[in-house]
Each structure stands twice: as structure tokens, then as C-alpha cells.
Amino acid sequence: MPALEIDDLRITYRGSRGVIPAVRGISLSLEPGDTLGLAGESGCGKSTVAAAALRLLPPGTEVSGRIMLGGEDILTMSFGRLRAVRWAGASIVFQGAMHSLNPVHRIARQVAEPIVLHEGVSTDAAEKRAIELMAQVGLPAWRARSYPHELSGGQRQRVMIAMALACSPQLIIADEATTALDVMIQAQVLALLEGLVADRNIALIMISHDLSVLAETCARLAVMYAGKLVEEGPSHEVFGHARHPYAQALSAAFPTVGDPAERRNPHGLAGDPPDPAALPTGCSFHPRCPVVMDTCASTQVELRHARSDWQAACLRVEPMAPAQPAMLAEEKHD
């Protein structure tokens, strides 16, 4: 059973800034142990998807489609069940989550809190587990007695990862979880997260604007633009050989480390993402697209399979020919 299955998710915020269609029909599926990187410029809807997966959106937000977490329907479940699922089913580590640690409580107590709450064990037993978890994220046991201000930023973000792991979730969403850390610490925290999800067969969605970080950590990459997925496929393909011009520009904006030719010529992308309240017609990337065609402004473009495991939403992508019944029959006899 998939750890997470999102089907045609649409999310519209309504507020003082008017009607904002932040997510416009996204489908994703992750099996246990799968790692998916979700990329795109600021404002394309990444955090909105993450918040929706745990029903953390502000009241009044319109949501349609389906979100199944370990076979349970997140959008229709009771509040009681939802409380149990947040931590034990799935947990999110946000950017700057380390600032949400309570300054007056010792670390062990804070890591133990969700364990006491969800598993009904004693505080002592939960704190013992908390210390074990801290060891797994590379924090020495004596740090358990520290207060948050006594830890560095990297150590506090490790504490947040320990908390995310505390109740053995099937899914972790890391939303720009390492963006605020310096590059060396970021690499350590990413390697740690990668190892932990692999050991425990946890599904991981890692969100970042930095495609190169995602490509190193995740097996698959999905690129969002203006509330939609514009490309989804194996990381090494999407990062190096993207089919969608936006995904191409995004990967070219992060040159390969140590490649002097690329460093001289980073292909940034001019302009800003569109205002979600006033989206361009047709392919919403057309005003910025370097290879735009006459038909792009008037044609709705959906994801199409460039290969069975690789999709892109661009009219220039040749869709894969549908499999012929004869071929399918042959495959069955193989």
C-alpha cells in the first residue's frame, strides 16, 4: 500500500488578497522507502501541498481531490484520528522549525512529549527513547539535558528530526528543513535524514528551491510551477536532462560543483513566477519560456509521459506511444 497517495489535489486560499488557486491539480504517489524531491521557485505551492498532507491549512481554505496516508483518507478523517496521525503517521519538519523549540524546557523533555502523548508511556520511558533517538541523529546523550539556546542551529535542526522520527511515522516531509543551515551542516543533516529513512523504510518528501540538493538526496524529482507539476521523473534524468524548459532552467541555475565551464555560464531564468490570482492562459510558463511557440498561450498542457517513469507538461515533449495490445501480450509471456 502506498505511504502517501495524492490524487488531483486542488487548493484555493480565500482571504484579503482575493482568491488564490495555490495548487491546481497535483497527483503523487510514494511507496514506503521512496524519496521524492519537490522543487520550484518560491510561491509555486510546495508548502501548501505539504500542509495539506497533514490537514494543516488555515480554516476556510478550499481543498478538493484525495489525500490517502497509509490507506486512510486525510481530508475526511475525524479530528481525533488526525491528531494521532500527525506524528505517528506522518510528520513535517519545516524551515526554521528549530526556532519552535520551547526555550524553557530541556531537549529530552521536548523530544519525549509526542511519545508520551501518542503512546501513553511514562515520561521516564519516553525520555529514555528520546535519548536513543538523539543518538541516532548524532547528538550525544548529555545534550538531552541542554536547553535549546545551548545548541547550535544544526544541532537544533537535528533535534527536530529526532522529534519527527519519535513516533515512527511512515512519511516525513522536510520543507526547506536544511535551508537555514550552513552548507557543511546542511550536508550532514541531509546525509543523516537519507540514512534514517532508508534504514526504517520511511517515505520522504523533501522540499527545496535547490534542485541540486534534492537530486543528491532523493531518487525522484518533481518540479512545480504555478501550482502544477511540470515534470516528474528519476532524479538523475530530471536534474541533468530535464524535458520541461522550466525544469531545465531550474537545474541550470545550480551548476555542477567543480565544473568550471558551468560556473562561467549559469543559465538563470529571467522574470518572476506568475501571480497565482492572475495566471497566464494556456501553458502558464509561456511568458518566460525561451522556446515558446504560437500555440502555447492558447493550449492547456497536462503532464505527458516522455517515458513510462518520466512525465513533463510541455507541448514540445513527444508523448510516448501507447503500448500496443500485441506487445503487452508478448510481455506477459516473457
Ligand X SMILES: Nc1ncnc2c1ncn2[C@@H]1O[C@H](COP(=O)(O)OP(=O)(O)O)[C@@H](O)[C@H]1O
Interface positions with ligand SF4 (CB under 6 A): 244-245, 283, 285-286, 289, 291-293, 296, 301, 314-316
Place of cell 505517528: 88
The verdict on 235 binding Mg ion (CB under 5 A) reads no
Is 13 a residue that touches ligand X (CB under 6 A)? yes
Positions in 57-76 near ligand X (CB under 6 A): 58
DSSP 242-279: -SSHHHHHHHHTSPPTT-HHHHH------S-PPPTTSP
42-50, 147-155, 165-173, 181-189 -> range binding ligand X (CB under 6 A): 42-50
Contact criterion met (CB below 8 Å) for 110 and 102: yes
Any residues with CB less than 8 A from the CB of 94 and at least 6 apart, and which?
100, 175, 176, 177
| Nearer Cβ to ligand X (42/102) | 42
Other C-beta atoms closer than 10 Å to the C-beta of 241 total 13
**Apex 62 CA angle, 50 and 94, nearest 5:** 20
From CA 176, how far away is CA 211, in angstroms rounded? 12
User: Taking CB positions, which residue lies at the least distance from Mg ion?
Assistant: 47
Q: Would you say 44 or 74 has its CB closer to Mg ion?
A: 44
Residue 228 sits in the site that holds ligand X (CB under 6 A): no
Q: How far is the CB of 176 from ligand X (least distance, A)?
A: 8
Interacting stretch for ligand X, rule CB under 6 A, among 41-49, 117-125, 215-223, 238-246? Answer: 41-49
Hey, which residues between 41 and 60 contact Mg ion (CB under 5 A)? 46-47
Distance CA 163, CA 146 (A): 15
With CB under 5 to 8 Å by kind, the binding choice for 292 among ligand SF4, Mg ion, ligand X, none is ligand SF4
